[in-house]
């Protein structure tokens, strides 16, 4: 695995797999998700710390999927998803929410916003790539 750090964005390059953008305001979650998705999933991972940066990264790298935190300052996950859907080049990119908020009211709010699925925190780093593959229908 090669790692290049470009500004605040870390790019983890593996030997194959899909291209995934991870958007989360917690650097620890970005780090462990990127490690898990490259080391276990073999994916190329780009990370971003907020919605604005995430949109910029996604427009540039054209990912196969976006893992998006729900609770972020300024623009939360659903708001970022709305912006993604307004961009023709990103409209069809599958988005999976990543969140610790999984009460009934929270799920109701996330339902119908347009994400493919919700992965809850805490997640098992060893299992994240498999979970993502399962919800997106990728070969694990």
Q: Minimum distance between the CB of residue 122 and other proteins, rounded to whole angstroms?
A: 4
Interface map 111-130 toward other proteins (x if CB under 8 A):
----------xxx-xx----
> For residues 17 and 49, what is the distance between their CA atoms, to the nearest angstrom?
23
- Among 11, 13, 19, 40, which residue sits at the site for other proteins (rule: CB under 8 A)? 40
| Of the residues 11, 13, 19, 35, which one makes contact with other proteins according to CB under 8 A | 35
Binding positions for other proteins, 51-80, rule CB under 8 A: 71, 73
Biggest CA pair distance of the chain: 41
Out of 5, 6, 7, 28, point to the residue binding other proteins (CB under 8 A): 28
Q: Give the number of other CB atoms < 10 A from CB of residue 111.
A: 10
In degrees, rounded to 5, the angle at the alpha carbon of residue 93 between the alpha carbons of residues 75 and 34 is 70
| Cβ atoms < 10 Å from Cβ of 8 | 12
Beta carbons of 44 and 12 less than 8 angstroms apart:
yes
- Choosing from 1, 79, 86, 87, the residue that interacts with other proteins (CB under 8 A) is 1
Is residue 15 involved in binding other proteins (CB under 8 A)?
A: yes
The angle at the Cα of 119, spanning 116 to 123, to the nearest 5 degrees, equals 160
The verdict on 26 binding other proteins (CB under 8 A) reads yes
Dist. CA 126–CA 61, nearest whole Å: 25
User: Rule CB under 8 A: which residues touch other proteins?
Assistant: 1, 14-15, 25-29, 31-32, 35, 38-40, 42, 71, 73, 99-101, 121-123, 125-126
């Amino acid at each position: 695995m090669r790692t290049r750090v470009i500004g605040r964005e870390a790019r983890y390059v593996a030997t194959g797999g899909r291209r995934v953008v991870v958007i989360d305001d917690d650097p620890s979650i970005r780090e462990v998700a990127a490690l898990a998705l490259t080391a276990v999933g073999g994916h190329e991972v780009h990370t971003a710390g907020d919605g604005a940066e995430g949109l910029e990264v996604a427009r540039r790298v054209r990912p196969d999927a976006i893992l998006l935190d729900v609770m972020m300052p300024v623009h939360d996950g659903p708001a970022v998803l709305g912006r993604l859907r307004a961009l023709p080049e990103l409209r069809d990119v599958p988005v999976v929410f990543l969140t610790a908020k999984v009460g009934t009211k929270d799920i109701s709010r996330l339902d119908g916003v347009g994400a493919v699925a919700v992965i809850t925190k805490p997640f098992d780093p060893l299992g994240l790539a498999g979970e993502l593959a399962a919800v997106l229908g990728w070969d694990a």
